[in-house]
Amino acid sequence: MIIKGNIVDILNRTIFKGEVEIEAGKIVSIRSSDHAIENYILPGFIDAHIHIESSLLVPSEFSKIALVHGTVATVSDPHEIANVLGVKGVDFMIENGKKVPLKFNFGAPSCVPATSFESTGAVIDSGDIQKMMANPDIKYLAEMMNYPGILFDDEEVLKKLAWAKQYHKPIDGHAPGLRGDDVTKYIAAGISTDHECFTYDEALEKLQKGMKILIREGSAAKNFEALIDLLPDYFENMMFCSDDKHPDDLLLGHINQLCERAVAKGIDVFKVLQVACINPVKHYDLEVGLLQKGDAADFIVVEDLQKFKVLQTYINGELVAQNSQSFVQSVPFKILNNFEVNPKKIEDYQYQTSSEKIRVIEALDGELVTREIECNSLLVDGNLVSNPEEDILKMTVVNRYKNASPAIAFIKNFGIKKGAIASSVGHDSHNIIALGTSDEFIYKAVNLLIKNKGGICAVNETSEKIVALPVAGIMSDQPAEIIGKQYAELDAMAKEMGSKLKAPFMTLSFMALLVIPSLKLSDKGLFDGTTFKFTSLEIT
């Protein structure tokens, strides 16, 4: 097979009219050729850090959408399913991903559970990490969120790092805001990357100290604008990633969008493409072709080098997507889950107090961090209730792994006027998280998720809408085309109910993420991420 076009040789920084000859899935020749074809042939795009689970799709279904955007490989942390099902969940992701052409590269989750301050479905200890590092299907040790464990020489954390080093596998970082001597020690422990930088200065310091920095642009956390000006000088040590990508956003684009935006800023196209296509392969030693003779025939054909409209995607010489159509078929798989909680009662969400002031979580649009604010209590017969007029809504996190009393807090900026939204996608432990304008609406939303053993939903006076997520309570068993449409409809319903957030369900999912400050809620109570201690809802 021969494919003709303008060959983009990123490594040698040249573009020439030519043709690529493929035999048995490998590139056997790349040569100059005079022809009239104006399309461009280049290596495929790679997402250098993503949780596939956040697309609400299993890997095989995720691949259908990603391939049409020119993504040929991912560096994937199965941290979310691992918190629900442990190593068994990681194995599920690997095996499902093998059934489709897209080259998934999974890591061993390093922080399961992420903290001891929440209930989770599984534990992955250093003994498990030892076995996973010996597995050739595990390419790296995934993001080490427990940076205090490194700074204070936690024995279990250091054992996990040691196993990764023994098997010569990279170690990913996760250290938002870590600076100075602390980040120096963190890097010295063997941490090679960070995707959590949210300021130019933070990323610059980490680059100068030897880290690879990933520019993240996901559905919730968006750091492209803050970091992109570093790319011209540090392109050899940067990569693009999405981290978390909801299905409606994934339908619109993937890493190709970041290339378009970077080139539009006047950045040299070869530098942009090195970040998007080359650096992840080199850093993680991926079995992904780079459009060189002898490589696997993994490449894409795009219309131009400005918009990067993907016309064709090839993996191992096979045409897997063309003109926005994926040729990947759905594959059968066995559903795994861990959802053991019984339905709740309305009175489970009551919070009796006489306190006149409460601590409230202030959600910030497009951010994982929150603020702590002080608000007046609204009491009805001694029960703290939502105050929709002030946009102060009751919030709950319900343990999904066993029967326990719901934790209660209050949150601002979701804007719901009447009704509730809920999700069993609640990072990192994936307990049920819900908020609403009344205890009754919250009760209905939570029980709808329990009935379906996982999902995301919205309820109001006239309707109930749910995207069921029976795979570990965080992914669908349905095709990508269906879930993308269902999610968009649910997102629209939340916004019709008053939410002004760009991605209300994605924002909701991070309100239980204790490792990101400042105020969050776990199933065990209100948590101060700055002091890393539980705190009181009531202000006395």
Q: How confident is the model at residue 443 (pLDDT cuts 50, 70, 90)?
A: very high
| For residue 192, pLDDT beyond 90 | yes
Q: Predicted confidence band at 447 (pLDDT cuts at 50, 70, 90)?
A: very high
Please indicate whether residue 79 or residue 247 has the higher confidence score (pLDDT): 79
pLDDT for the residue 75 = 98
Q: What is the pLDDT of residues 137-163, one digit of tens each?
A: 999 999 999 998 999 999 999 999 999
Q: Which CATH architecture fits 2-326?
A: Alpha-Beta Barrel (3.20)
- Please tell me the predicted confidence (pLDDT) of residue 131: 98
Kindly report the number of other CB atoms within 10 A of residue 35's CB atom: 11
Q: Could you list the beta-strand ranges (E) of 296-406.
A: 299-302, 310-315, 318-322, 325-326, 357-363, 370-376, 379-380, 383-384, 392-398
DSSP state of 402: S
Amino acid identity at 481? E
Q: What pLDDT digit, counting tens, does each position of 455-484 carry?
A: 999 999 999 999 999 999 999 999 888 998
What percent of the chain lies above the pLDDT cut of 70? 100
Nearest to 245 by CA among 447, 85, 33, 480: 480
DSSP helix/strand/coil, 196 = coil
The pLDDT confidence band at residue 517, using thresholds 50, 70 and 90, is confident
Q: Is the pLDDT of residue 8 over 90?
A: yes
Contact of 436 with 458, CB cutoff 8 Å: no
Confirm if 456 and 248 have CB atoms less than 8 A apart.
Answer: no
User: What's the predicted TM-score (pTM) here?
Assistant: 0.95
Helix H, strand E, coil C: the string for 460-520 is CCCCEEEEECCECCCECCCCHHHHHHHHHHHHHHHHHCCCCCCCHHHHHHCCCCCCCCCEE
pLDDT tens figures, 19-40: 999 999 999 999 999 999 999 9
Instruction: Give Cβ neighbours of residue 382 (< 8 Å, ≥ 6 apart).
Output: 352, 353, 354
Confidence band for 523, pLDDT divided at 50, 70 and 90: very high
Mean pLDDT of the chain: 96
Q: Which residue carries 């998007």 as its tokens?
A: 276
DSSP-assigned letters across all residues of 219-239: SS-B-HHHHGGGHHHHGGGEE
Mean pLDDT on 383-404: 98
Distance (Å, whole) CA 519 – CA 510: 11
Cis amide bond preceding 428, omega within 30: yes
| Beta-carbon contacts of residue 236 (< 8 Å; ≥ 6 apart) | 274, 279
**Distance between CA atoms of 108 and 135, rounded to whole angstroms?**
10
Domain boundaries, the chain: 2-326, 346-539
Q: Is residue 496 very low, low, confident or very high in pLDDT (cuts 50, 70, 90)?
A: very high
pLDDT for the residue numbered 368: 84
Q: Express each pLDDT in 302-358 by its tens digit.
A: 999 999 999 999 999 999 999 999 999 999 999 999 999 999 999 999 999 999 999
